[in-house]
Structure 1
Amino acid sequence: MTQSPRPADTSTLLSRRHVMLTGLGFLALTACGGHGSAPSNPEDACAIFRERPHYRSALEASERKWGVPVSVQMAIIYQESTFRATARPPKRYTLFIIPKGRASSARGYAQALDGTWDDYRNGPGRAGASRSNIRDATDFIGWYVSTNNKALGISNSDARNSYLAYHEGRGGYRRGSYRNKSWLLSTADGVAKRAARYEAQLAYCR
């Protein structure tokens, strides 16, 4: 006597479907070069390039185009977003429970503000440029840092002052708005030290 086939285990089918969809989603994300999370070792330039080689090509393309060293770009990205594509300022709350929105419109690798990003897209950037795309973000950093530095007389290899101008804007830097911000001066010193470390590391993987 032939037995009728047993009905499929619904939970097993759903589990397999979940695994399949998750895998496809991961492949699609990898193919697009999208990474919401930071590299596993963001302190090591060579480790970053081994894990995400498209970062290297984006950074080097920006350096060739704008003249801002890879190490300076990387130090700025580390400070702004720790290489997280979807980084945003934390939400603010009234009485700890009522949302007030975010501290600013900054987002993405470069933490570019809406207005500054629009200037970039309407200028040298492509119309569909995204702050969560590493190639767009590094091109933005190269453009913004180099144009600021040219106007302010800062060397593109001067990570400390490049970052101060990046943070305060051209007008703020000219006014010396950073001088009474001890926390910002300390941060800029940290950016300069990190850029120097990245530069030393890059000598071993170029």
Structure 2
Amino acid sequence: MIQKFTKKILWLKNGMSFFLIVLFLNGCANTPPKNISNICDIFFEKRDWYDVAADMNKKWGVPIHVPMSMMYQESSFKAKARPPRDYIFFGLIPWGRVSSAYGYSQAKTPTWADYKRETKNSWADRTDFDDAMDFMGWFITKTHKMNGISKWDAELQYLNYHEGWGGYKRGSYNRKPWLKKVAKTVEARSLRYAAQLKTCEEELSRGWFWGLFD
């Protein structure tokens, strides 16, 4: 009887330890990179992110530095990022969010639904880096098809991303000087990311395993 009870206690203890380890690893996976100003540091810290970004590049033909610079601007690589809350009654009472944007890419709910339907990626999650990066590859590719914007042009791609394809066509960004300034910041960051990536992409492409023997 005592032996059975002891085995049950050990089983519960081991099960709880496994559960805590899973929680810990999940928390680490969702933690933003420490140095988001350097794309090499990002990918060396999150080695699987480079593989995801490389897969996106092969699938959509979108250069890695463009969606990464846009994601920096949108969420600072925070898995569960949300826009600020909206307030009513002279800013005293919180009333929902200013938009439905969510996750790494800050994709809005209707656009995310379009992405899932068109790519048949029905299980896609905005808090999953893999799905968020694939979404951005899809969006940037559609921007190229619909509005003729180069996949390498981070500035105009970001204006489309922020205003939507219809809004960009109507020139809605011209009434938002602050947005045009942000888009130029995204462009400058993408160029820095591109230059940084050239210095480390060969090592990253070899994978984490071979890096152990350097």
* Range moving further from structure 2, 95-104 or 119-128: 95-104
Contact 1:125/1:140 (<8 A) preserved: no
Aligned mates of 2:173, 2:118 — CA distance in 1: 27
Structure 2 residue 20 is the aligned partner of structure 1 residue 25: no
Kindly report which structure 2 residues correspond to 1:65-76, keeping only aligned pairs within 5 A, or say none: 65-76=59-70
Correspondence for 1:104: 99
Correspondence for 1:82: 76
SS at 2:122 equivalent: coil
Kindly report which structure 2 residues correspond to 1:1-206, keeping only aligned pairs within 5 A, or say none: 22-30=20-28, 34-35=29-30, 37-94=31-88, 95-206=90-201
SS at 1:59 equivalent: helix
Q: Quick one: structure 1 residues 191 and 28, their matched pair in 2 at CA, closer, same or farther if it must change by over 3 Å? A: closer
Correspondence for 1:14: none
Aligned mates of 1:125, 1:169 — CA distance in 2: 21
Contact 1:125/1:136 (<8 A) preserved: no
Contact 1:86/1:109 (<8 A) preserved: yes
Q: How many Å apart are 1:99 and its aligned residue? A: 2.1
Aligned mates of 2:65, 2:197 — CA distance in 1: 8
> Any gaps of 5 or more consecutive residues in structure 1?
1-17
Q: How many Å apart are 1:92 and its aligned residue? A: 2.3
Contact 1:75/1:194 (<8 A) preserved: yes
Q: How many Å apart are 1:27 and its aligned residue? A: 2.9
TM-score, structure 2 normalization: 0.81
Q: How many residues were matched structurally?
A: 186
SS at 1:179 equivalent: helix
> Any gaps of 5 or more consecutive residues in structure 2?
1-15, 202-214
The AA in structure 1 aligned to 2:193 is Y
The AA in structure 1 aligned to 2:172 is S
Please give the root-mean-square deviation of Cα atoms over the aligned residues, in Å: 1.9
Q: Quick one: structure 1 residues 39 and 125, their matched pair in 2 at CA, closer, same or farther if it must change by over 3 Å? A: farther
